[in-house]
Structure 1
């Protein structure tokens, strides 16, 4: 069996766009997802959680909506059982993430849960994005005590990075040139000042996460299996924001990589300005990984 996990940034979540909301959620439901990492879940908790309840009904999943409805995590109760959530996700977030522990059903009683997180890095500030990405690394550094050992909890984190992957993966969209971005404020939003004093397109969060052992699963497929469709753009060319790019990405702990089967990018034109990324994981392999996690002495 394959477990399907998706990223979806759908900014038209508000109740005033109900027909589009229904169209988008029906599309998501058709993908047969078991995990869904949502960004911009605006208005989900208004009116007694009307949209939150409706999303669960359409998707057939249970949802955890984060602070201020910025992000959310949905899971299939037939596949995962909640094992706790983070209520303190750090002070630096403009749009706070949603992070929880999910136990894969069928794993050993003492197997660690999987840490699953949905995040949205800052839109306008490269320095703030870097701080937020630094905090993301803490979820790849979670350990629990078991029989005199420390056992690592693997992490699967995904979201809108508002920045670019480090170039070099086969098929990955090239970094845009600063001059290709017509909107001058956006040039600042998507770049940073390098050591030489010149502006560079911002790939720092990606570089930082990789250094911390969190791997871009699409890049992993492109480099190890030659699957260049895995690194398809997730936002289209914009007359103001520049060329098509891959700003929506899923990152996994290194031990999870052998469970990755494939990635598909589903075109959401007309529904969202972001396409939906779906990674498929081999359930048997994921079960084995969780049953035999990395350990060290307590």
Structure 2
């Protein structure tokens, strides 16, 4: 039975959704349920899940014991425990200027009560090949940190937001022990990949791409792993290092270990975070590891019942 006071959130780019190997797909999702038991799951590379009337999506729902929502083009999905999370709306127009559109929903956390604020939930996968494209997509991603909600008293408030996905780029160097260093461009052997993971800086020198992270954090969406590793609430040094562990392994073409898969939350949700780590997945299974964030459900309920600053808006967006 799931501990209702601890909410396990996972974000995972499962390579090509297992490809054409249905047995592998079933096996890894059975592992997710058996060993990690998520309440909220952000999935990327959901290729083929919309075929045959979304048969694969519904298969995964049954395996996970969660309800699923599939984004445009089967790029991303959100799965949620229906006893804890109830959709208020799904945002269908998430594909503007995106190669791999996110899945975005507004959801109630049911234990918080009917009058509590809902929160924005987003699974995303930023552009693989274009640093300029990723920056644009990250800027659009911040619009979920700007969703408004009309309270029962008629006031408009800004919703908290929790997002997870594959950034295909790097976090700004944190100085936290264990956080992988930025790759050195010249040491990446694959020339196209050098282009894909860098951008032309103001001095005419190519720089490794940290701009999506910078954009999200500028909009008040914090890298949850970085937050957990630096707040001081987690005193164990190994646990701090585990929060910022690699999410992809070093390889000859792509360079060294990197933390390209990340979860972001608006600052109002950070008090509910009680753990972050990376669950390593064997390379034959997938080329990405799993980011795990654990929330305190009671604190989350308190946050959603607090009265935030009222926005002076004519209508909700």
**TM-score by structure 2 length?**
0.91
- Structure 1 stretch 41-50 or stretch 90-99: which is displaced more? 41-50
Please state if 1:254 is matched with 2:273. Answer: no
Alignment match of 1:132 (pick from 128, 131, 137):
137
Alignment match of 1:170 (pick from 166, 176, 179):
176
Q: How far apart in 1 are the matches of 2:16 and 2:94?
A: 25
Q: Is the 8 A contact 1:137 1:214 kept in 2?
A: yes
Partner of 1:149: 155
Please state if 1:76 is matched with 2:89. Answer: no
Structure 1, unaligned stretches of length 5 or more? none
State the shift of 1:239 in Å.
0.8
State the shift of 1:113 in Å.
0.8
Q: Is the 8 A contact 1:169 1:219 kept in 2?
A: no
Partner of 1:196: 203
Q: Is the 8 A contact 1:12 1:20 kept in 2?
A: no
Q: How far apart in 2 are the matches of 1:157 and 1:96?
A: 13
Q: Is the 8 A contact 1:115 1:155 kept in 2?
A: yes
Alignment match of 1:265 (pick from 260, 278, 294):
278
Partner of 2:298: 284
**Is the partner of 2:127 in helix, strand or coil?**
coil
Structure 2, unaligned stretches of length 5 or more? 235-239, 313-317
Q: How far apart in 1 are the matches of 2:224 and 2:175?
A: 11
Partner of 2:315: none
Structure 1 ranges of 4+ moved more than 3 A: none
Q: How far apart in 2 are the matches of 1:191 and 1:138?
A: 24
Q: Is the 8 A contact 2:69 2:78 kept in 1?
A: yes
Q: Is the 8 A contact 1:12 1:21 kept in 2?
A: no
CA 1:297/1:22 → structure 2, altered by over 3 Å: closer, same or farther?
Answer: closer
Partner of 1:120: 125
Q: Is the 8 A contact 1:218 1:263 kept in 2?
A: yes
State the shift of 1:90 in Å.
4.5
**TM-score by structure 1 length?**
0.97
Please state if 1:62 is matched with 2:32. Answer: no
Superposed CA deviations along residues 168-192 of structure 1, whole A, max 9, x for unmatched, are 2412110010012110100000000
Q: How far apart in 2 are the matches of 1:144 and 1:72?
A: 23
Partner of 2:24: 20
How many residues are treated as equivalent by the alignment?
298
Partner of 1:244: 257
The CA RMSD over aligned residues, in Å, is 1.3
Q: Is the 8 A contact 1:23 1:271 kept in 2?
A: no
Superposed CA deviations along residues 107-148 of structure 1, whole A, max 9, x for unmatched, are 132211111000000000000000000001111011223325
State the shift of 1:47 in Å.
2.1
Partner of 1:37: 42
Superposed CA deviations along residues 248-276 of structure 1, whole A, max 9, x for unmatched, are 00000000001000012111112110001
**Is the partner of 2:288 in helix, strand or coil?**
coil
